[in-house]
Chain A
Amino acid sequence: MRAAYAAVAAWLERTPPAELEAKRAEAELLFRRVGITFAVYGEGGDPERLIPFDIIPRVLARSEWDRLSAGLSQRVRALNAFLADAYGKQEILKAGVIPASLVTGNEQFRPEMQGFQPPGGVYTHIAGIDLVRTGPDQFYVLEDNARTPSGVSYMLENREAMLRLFPRLLARHRLAPVNRYPEDLLTTLKAAAPDRAGPNPTVVILTPGAFNSAYYEHCFLADEMGVEVVEGADLFVDENVVFMRTTAGPRRVDVIYRRIDDDYLDPRAFRPDSMLGVPGLMAAYRAGNVALCNAPGCGIADDKAIYPFVPQMIRFYLNEDPKLANVPTYLCERDADRAYVLDHLDELVVKLAQGSGGYGMMIGPHATAAERADFAARIKARPADYIAQPTLALSTVPTLCANGVAPRHVDLRPFVLSTKDEVRIVPGGLTRVALREGSLVVNSSQGGGTKDTWVLENDPQEGGAQGAVAC
């Protein structure tokens, strides 16, 4: 056990199981009451599902966080530089560092963005970087989310729940606060506004609507920032200027934090059948009259096929060594990689390059022979669609399960905010936990839960109980 966990361990030891269980039930009631729900479609049951909340926090020491934070900041600066380059001069492609086909042939590549620079030159203003830990000093980046990463409301609400459930426990620790995230987000969004908008731009959040799984989050953030949540039908474009329909007549909009995918943003530019977007929005954007956060086309930076090249991006654009490691990744499209993958299916995790939400993946060591044969056939048929990675010996953290406290696997998604001048990261992030024993899948759509993530203001003294690594 790491020293950072000492106080939590002592607390768990002296708290009777029945009391922990009572607190767990109280937490559930709290979340249900506030309506912190996550919509899951098409599976029957309650359409407004609660994401299970685990009351045992995950703890990081300050020095651990500082290392992570520096690596995250570096990584997102490189991703933004890559996006500017990919839609600009394409120097990294010309230098042969990344195969051009992976970028310009990517289905997330938006030709509409070529030769256009967003206000301030930032593409991914809000990034969510998924990390896992395999040892005391070893973190890996599992995935970059540069489009519309969600989950930050849980980071904030989990802390609120803990403050309410365990005020004394929290008071015994000195925790780095997370509650200034909404203010940082608003600052970031305002900084993205076109110059014309002046010092007080009108910012809105564009949601697909109340049936979207992250709708709670859209409202939560709008509420915390004091901005409107709009649906596509609330906006219209006149002479390349975006307006929202209000009780007092049309009002000009300067910055749109859009939580809908590129494909649905503007039926005139992208999918013509989209009812969610705003006709003419892309033209207004290209005319420099409105900012979109994140910029369209960010998908080429967080694609699983691009992921293996992020360390090279860091070297290429920043001339620095990567501070955070990538998981070794095999691109099935490459002959040598594919041969290796097909030979080692029983020890690899195979994922869809374009997949998300834990769908379309196979975990080799847990798969049956038939499942492996099925994936081998799929890989041979469409090699470019698949990547593979070794299964990592993920660390575990104590989690309250049906039979008491038990170790469970977790990941961590910190949220990285970028303006043209600086990168801000609130200490911590969203910890997701695989509630099923032995499971590595933490996605909320696959039965994962969440925990509060504590970054201690000071490093605790090393010593105390020794044992398994807790992350």
Chain B
Amino acid sequence: MLSRSADSLFWLGRYTERAANVARGLSVALRMAGLSAQLGAEGDEWRSLLIATGCEPAFFGKHEEASQENVVDFLVRDPDNPTGIISCFAAARHNARSVRTALTVDMWGALNDSWNTLRHAEFQGERLPGFLEWVRERVLLFNGAAHDTMLRGEPWLFVQLGTALERADNTARLLDVKHHLLAPAQQATVEYAQWQAILQSVSALRAYHWVYKDRLEPAKIAELLILRPELPRSLTACHGRVLEVLDRIAAGQAGRRGECHRMAGELHARLRYGRIEEILSAGLHEYLTDMIMRTAELGNEIEAFYIRA
């Protein structure tokens, strides 16, 4: 496949995933903001969301206060914010347009329809929950279209690579923002609602109950989101997927491998054989910061090997 096409497909996977992740984050923050008025922690949700999306400095360069309206506008519409939902869709569509031939009609239709609606969408106030749900559904539709219709060649693998890497990054950032809540011996009501929120933001609240059949506990939440391979958004599942996809690309190219393959293998092995007690005792924040950094490096190595070489 053309290197330029691989680049576009990789970022197509990343941008669509990012748009959905921002929408997930906003949904949970909105729910928390509704609850926290009763809990006396107003405003915190919007700030932690800005941190989790990596947008905090850019946001405060424009706004004084992390009010709901400001944050929502910044994360949905603001054309200066490349992480915003509309910006992500615009970038995804731009990438899709430059690789039209690699996409199926269903994928393009899902993306192009979303874009046409999104440009004129109303999203403030009472419309917000419905809008965010719609964004998530559109990405699910896009992913479903890819899954159901795309030829299992390199184009497919590069979309998968982008999606998996972006998802790994998102889960790590999300956990990192809330890492203090997962420190041992925090049992207040505020935390319980926050724990629920963390799980909801990766659609894993039910999954928690299925896996642990127990009440919410911080160490188990961390274990589920970092180490459990059966949760599709856990770090280990995402990096397992990255490794698998890289191996399949290499297999299709007569075993041609590079630094990105070694790095992905090492990263996945750490997760696969990791233990939550050790991670927590060494410091969750340090562990997650390291993961975020390694994920970014892996992304750079993939681009260096397949795209810019």
Using a CB–CB cutoff of 8 Å, the interface residues on chain A facing chain B are 32-35, 209-210, 215-216, 219-220, 222-223, 228-231, 233-234, 244-249
- B residues 93-116 touching A (CB-CB < 8 Å): 94, 97-98, 100-101, 105, 108-109, 112-113, 116
Cross-interface CB contact of B101 among A33, A209, A222, A234, cutoff 8 Å: A222
B159 within 8 A of A: no
Kindly identify which residue among B3, B108, B154 contacts A245, using a CB–CB cutoff of 8 Å.
B3
In the assembled complex, B31 has its CB within 8 A of some CB on chain A = no
Let me know if B4 and A245 touch, CB within 8 A: yes
Q: Are B306 and A247 neighbours in the complex by a CB distance under 8 Å? A: yes
Given contacts A219-B100, A219-B101, contact A248 B2 (CB under 8 A): no
Option from A32, A220, A230 in Cβ contact (under 8 Å) with B116:
A32
Given contact pairs A210-B98, A223-B101, a sample of 4 additional A-B residue pairs in the complex whose CB atoms are under 8 Å apart: A32-B116, A33-B116, A219-B100, A247-B306
Q: Looking across the interface, which residue of chain A has its beta carbon closest to that of B94?
A: A210
A247 contacts B101, C-beta separation under 8 Å: no
Contact partner of A247 (CB less than 8 A), chosen from B97, B98, B307, is: B307
Residues of A within 8 A of B94 (CB): 210
Chain B residues with CB under 8 A of A246: 1-3
Tally of contacts, chain A with chain B, CB under 8 A: 60
Given known A-B contacts A35-B112, A234-B3, A248 and B253 have beta carbons under 8 A apart: yes
Interface pair B3/A34, CB less than 8 Å apart:
no
30 contacts between A and B (CB under 8 A): A32-B116, A33-B109, A33-B112, A34-B105, A34-B108, A34-B112, A210-B94, A215-B97, A228-B5, A229-B100, A229-B101, A230-B2, A233-B4, A234-B2, A234-B3, A245-B2, A245-B3, A246-B3, A247-B2, A247-B3, A247-B6, A247-B158, A247-B249, A247-B253, A247-B306, A248-B1, A248-B252, A248-B253, A248-B256, A249-B309
Q: Which residues of A contact B2 (CB under 8 A)?
A: 228, 230, 234, 244-247
By the criterion of a CB under 8 Å from any partner CB, how many residues of chain B are at the interface?
26
Give the shortest distance, in Å, between B111 (CB) and chain A (any CB).
9
Residues of chain A within 8 A of B3, CB atoms compared? 234, 245-247
Interface of B is mostly: helix
Residue of A nearest to B1 (CB): A247
Check A228 against B116 for contact (C-beta < 8 Å). no
B100, B307, B309: most-surrounded residue (chain A CB, <10 A)? B100
- The residue in chain A whose Cβ has the minimal distance to the Cβ of B108 is A35
B97–A228 touching, CB < 8 Å: no
- Given contact pairs A35-B108, A247-B154, A210 touches B4 in the complex (Cβ within 8 A): no
Residues of B within 8 A of A245 (CB): 2-4
Residue of B nearest to A228 (CB): B2
Name the distance in Å between A267's Cβ and chain B's nearest Cβ. Answer: 19
Q: Which of the residues B97, B101, B116, B253 comes within 8 Å of A210, measured between beta carbons?
A: B97
B contact residues around A231 at 8 Å (CB)? 4
| Bound CA–CA A209/B113 (angstroms) | 23
Chain B 106-150 interface 0/1 with A at a Cβ cutoff of 8 Å (1 = within): 001100110010000000000000000000000000000000000
Question: Which residues of chain A are near B309, meaning CB under 8 Å?
Answer: 249
Interface set, chain B 221-276, CB cutoff 8 A to A: 249, 252-253, 256
Q: Which residue of B lies closest to A231 (CB)?
A: B4
Q: Are A33 and B113 in contact (CB under 8 A)?
A: yes
Task: List A contacts of B98 (CB < 8 A).
Answer: 209-210
Query: CA separation between A434 and B249, bound complex, in Å?
Result: 51
How far, in angstroms, from A69 to B108 measured CA to CA in the complex?
A: 36
Give the shortest distance, in Å, between B308 (CB) and chain A (any CB).
Answer: 10
Asked whether A228 lies within 8 Å of B154 as measured between CB atoms, the reply is no
Contacts of A215 in B (CB 8 A): 97
Nearest residue (CB) in A for B93 is A35
Complex formed: what's the CA distance from A229 to B4 in Å?
Answer: 10
- A244→B105 CA distance, assembly (Å): 26
- Which residue of B is nearest A220, CB measured? B100
CB distance from B6 to the nearest CB of A (A): 5
Within 8 A of A (CB), among B1-21: 1-6
Task: Tell me whether B100 and A223 are in contact (CB under 8 A).
Answer: yes
Min C-beta distance of A52 to chain B, whole Å: 18
Max chain A Cβ within 10 angstroms of own Cβ: one of B1, B94, B307: B1
CB distance from B150 to the nearest CB of A (A): 13
Q: Is the CB of A234 within 8 A of B4?
A: yes
Which residues of A sit under 8 angstroms from B116, Cβ to Cβ? 32-33
Which residues from chain B contact A247 at a C-beta distance below 8 Å? 1-3, 6, 154, 158, 249, 253, 306-307
Residue in B closest to A227 when the chains form the complex, CB atoms: B101
What CA separation (Å) do A244 and B307 show in the bound complex?
A: 12
Q: Nearest-CB distance from B223 to chain A (Å)?
A: 36
- CA A220 to CA B108, docked complex, whole Å: 13
Q: Are B249 and A34 in contact (CB under 8 A)?
A: no
Bound CA–CA A244/B2 (angstroms)? 7
Question: In the complex, A470 Cα to B191 Cα: how many Å?
Answer: 77
Residues of B66-112 contacting chain A, CB below 8 A? 94, 97-98, 100-101, 105, 108-109, 112
User: For A33, what are the chain B residues with a Cβ–Cβ distance below 8 Å?
Assistant: 109, 112-113, 116
B249: A residues at CB distance < 8 A: 247
Contact residues in A for B4 (Cβ distance below 8 Å): 231, 233-234, 245
**How far, in angstroms, from A453 to B309 measured CA to CA in the complex?**
47
Question: CA–CA, A139 to B216, complex, Å?
Answer: 81
